């Protein structure tokens, strides 16, 4: 008989979530249609420490709205780290802009400020930072860059709910921040996202663009621009509110899972997620890089673990190396320019990090890793 499957990611759902969604599906109609959105957005902005929050159907739509609200368009560029999910950069294409790929720092796995600076041109309109796997980049250095070149920062905090940099919450570190509530993320609404900002112009513009080009309270059916329809349902907002009320518990669980891995993998030559001083990593995906001395790749480890019914993910391949971008002029020659992203990818994987992980499951995964490396 096959061993119990260990999944790579997944949420924690309790009676609280079920009760809130039940309440929404029964009552959030007619005059109450927006009550859960209002509560969720207000509580979310309060948690992250921003003035505004807009609940959306995905993080991808939040990035699209951010790019548009910043006026980025045809022929413009934005600097994006190599190591991330394609959603960080895909919305640039929606507006006719192109990404410029920056390397990541070998320890934080987040955007390397020096490399980012080398990718800035006269067409650059923004720096997109990514809080990879729950960590945050060196924001002091990125802020200096942003100031020097007068560029806004879009902070992709999709993976970093609850993370902190010098006491400030991930998502509040740039001009605009975005989150994902996909089922794999630290908190979920099934599918969903959030845009946060302190800038009233960006907030107003995003509200306008996400509702078919009309301002809240505008004259009926007299849309001013052709735009988008990006809204979250009440049931999702209710689920999000319940998850948000449990966020410290969820983050504590993620941090606990990391500590278990750290303990179980002691003595092996593997590199785990870093947590710099004055930051709080929320370890969305516990990840390891195998030392080259083992002569084994991440893909080989993934296949070995799969035989034991353990699900994993590859570490993100550099964006400039994937088929969607390979042919882009901006992607050529990036392996030489961005050696860290390219060096990590072949030897690193994401380990099972779902909120259903237990110490026993972590032990089972780590015993297999030990066997693979021995």
Ligand X SMILES: *Cc1c(COP(=O)(O)O)cnc(C)c1O
Contacting positions for ligand X (CB under 6 A):
58-60, 84-85, 87-88, 130, 156, 158-159, 180, 182, 193
Q: Count the Cβ atoms, other than its own, within 10 Å of residue 15.
A: 9
What is the nearest approach in angstroms of ligand X to the Cβ of residue 335?
Answer: 22
- On the CB side of 259, how many CA atoms lie within 13 Å of its CA? 6
Query: Which class for 204: exposed (0-12), middle (13-18), buried (19 or more C-beta within 10 A)?
Result: middle
Cite the DSSP H helix spans in the chain.
15-27, 35-48, 59-69, 90-94, 113-118, 139-148, 200-209, 234-245, 247-264, 298-307, 323-326, 334-337, 339-345, 359-373
CA nearest neighbour of 82 among 330, 292, 296: 330
Please give the structure tokens belonging to residue 112: 């390397």
Nearer to ligand X, 85 or 325 (CB): 85
Could you tell me the strand order of the sheet in which 77-81 lies?
52-56, 193-197, 176-180, 153-156, 124-130, 77-81, 98-102
Nearer to ligand X, 50 or 189 (CB): 189
What is the nearest approach in angstroms of ligand X to the Cβ of residue 182?
Answer: 4
What is the separation, in whole angstroms, between the first and last Cα of the chain?
Answer: 26
Nearer to ligand X, 58 or 236 (CB): 58
What is the nearest approach in angstroms of ligand X to the Cβ of residue 113?
Answer: 18
Nearer to ligand X, 158 or 357 (CB): 158
Round to whole Å and give the CA distance between 354 and 182: 13
What is the nearest approach in angstroms of ligand X to the Cβ of residue 291?
Answer: 26
One-character DSSP codes across 107-145: TT-SB-HHHHHHT--TTEEEEEEE-GGG----HHHHHHH
What is the nearest approach in angstroms of ligand X to the Cβ of residue 232?
Answer: 11
Nearer to ligand X, 23 or 165 (CB): 165
Nearer to ligand X, 156 or 264 (CB): 156
- The radius of gyration of the chain's CA atoms, rounded to the nearest angstrom, is 21
Round to whole Å and give the CA distance between 179 and 183: 13
What is the nearest approach in angstroms of ligand X to the Cβ of residue 56?
Answer: 9
Round to whole Å and give the CA distance between 80 and 108: 15
What is the nearest approach in angstroms of ligand X to the Cβ of residue 110?
Answer: 11
Nearer to ligand X, 170 or 202 (CB): 170
What is the nearest approach in angstroms of ligand X to the Cβ of residue 274?
Answer: 17
Query: Which class for 7: exposed (0-12), middle (13-18), buried (19 or more C-beta within 10 A)?
Result: middle
Phi, psi of 125 (to 5 degrees): -120, -10
What is the nearest approach in angstroms of ligand X to the Cβ of residue 32?
Answer: 26
Specify which residues 115 forms β-bridges with.
none
Nearer to ligand X, 50 or 58 (CB): 58
CA nearest neighbour of 175 among 90, 78, 319, 85: 78
Nearer to ligand X, 85 or 258 (CB): 85
């Amino acid at each position: 008989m096959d061993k119990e499957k260990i999944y790579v990611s997944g949420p924690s759902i309790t009676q609280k979530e079920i009760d809130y969604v039940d309440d929404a599906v029964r009552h959030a109609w007619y005059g109450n249609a927006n009550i859960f959105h209002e509560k969720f957005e207000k509580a979310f902005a309060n948690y992250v420490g921003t003035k505004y929050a807009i609940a959306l159907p995905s993080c991808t739509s939040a990035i699209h709205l951010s790019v548009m609200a910043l006026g980025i368009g045809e022929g413009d560029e934005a600097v994006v780290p190599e190591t991330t999910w394609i959603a960080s950069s895909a919305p640039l294409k929606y507006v006719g802009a192109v990404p410029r790929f920056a390397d990541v720092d070998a320890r934080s796995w987040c955007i390397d400020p020096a490399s980012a600076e080398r990718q800035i041109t006269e067409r650059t309109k923004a720096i997109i930072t990514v809080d990879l796997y729950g960590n945050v980049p060196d924001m002091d250095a990125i802020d200096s860059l942003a100031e020097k070149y007068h560029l806004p920062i879009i902070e992709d905090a999709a993976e970093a709910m609850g993370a902190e940099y010098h006491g400030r919450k991930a998502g509040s570190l740039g001009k605009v921040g975005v989150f994902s509530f996909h089922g794999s993320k630290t908190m979920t609404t099934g599918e969903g996202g959030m845009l946060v900002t302190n800038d009233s112009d960006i907030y107003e513009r995003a509200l306008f663009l996400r509702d078919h080009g009309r301002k809240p309270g505008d004259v009926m059916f007299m849309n001013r621009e052709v735009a988008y329809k990006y809204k979250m349902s009440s049931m999702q907002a209710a689920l999000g509110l319940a998850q948000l009320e449990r966020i410290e518990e969820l983050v504590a669980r993620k941090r606990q899972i990391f500590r278990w891995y750290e303990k179980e993998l002691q003595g092996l030559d593997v590199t785990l997620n870093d947590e710099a001083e004055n930051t709080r990593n929320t370890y969305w995906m516990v990840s390891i890089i195998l030392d080259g001395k083992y002569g084994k790749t991440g893909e080989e480890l993934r296949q070995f673990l799969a035989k034991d019914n353990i699900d994993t993910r590859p570490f993100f391949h550099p964006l400039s190396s994937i088929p969607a971008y390979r042919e882009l002029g901006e992607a050529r020659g990036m392996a030489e320019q961005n050696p860290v992203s390219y060096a990590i990818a072949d030897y690193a994987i994401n380990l099972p990090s779902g909120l259903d992980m237990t110490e026993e499951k972590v032990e089972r995964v780590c015993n297999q890793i030990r066997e693979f490396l021995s």
